[in-house]
Amino acid sequence: MPLSARVGALLPGGGGLALAMAFGTLCVLPAGLVEGGSALADPVVLALGFGVAMLSSLVPCTCETETLRRVSALVFGVLLSVEPAIGALVALLVLHEIISPLQTLGLAAVVVASVGVIRGTRRAPAEPEPVRPGG
């Protein structure tokens, strides 16, 4: 994420994300060609692959990059740490998946830690400026 923030600051708009996505595509392209072979020439397969790429990578990464530009690193870190809990809630409501008590405990621990970070930063007193002799 720190590298993503730096690239996002250097390249305007979605330029950094586009560069990262192109690099990632080139990295996995050989394995995809070996595994997919001639099926990759099928327009339906290409359309489905494009849809999956948009929904699973481009849209979330764009949202994260834009958020990182607008909020502090602390807030962004807390938002990222709560992502699994939101995913579990969506899985429960949309897919009717049930998570185990141990998984629930883990998610609760992450959420409590995130709340603790936020509360801890709000309550931290500002350090007084040191008094300089003769100044």
Query: Are 64 and 76 in a shared domain?
Result: no
Q: Does the pLDDT of residue 27 top 70, yes or no?
A: yes
Number of domains observed in the structure of the chain: 2
Q: Nearest to residue 85, comparing CAs of 62, 63, 103, 67?
A: 103
Would residue 134 be called left, alpha or beta, if left means φ above 0 and alpha means ψ between -120 and 50 degrees? Answer: left
pLDDT confidence of 131, banded at 50, 70, 90? Answer: low
More confident residue, 46 or 8: 46
pLDDT confidence of 101, banded at 50, 70, 90? Answer: very high
Token representation of residue 101? 């008590």
More confident residue, 125 or 100: 100
Domain that holds residue 79: 72-125
3-state secondary structure of 129: coil
User: Residue 135 falls within a domain, yes or no?
Assistant: no
Query: Are 79 and 56 in a shared domain?
Result: no
Q: Does the pLDDT of residue 6 top 80, yes or no?
A: no
Global confidence as pTM: 0.54
Q: 3-state SS string over 34-49?
A: HHHHHHHHCHHHHHHH
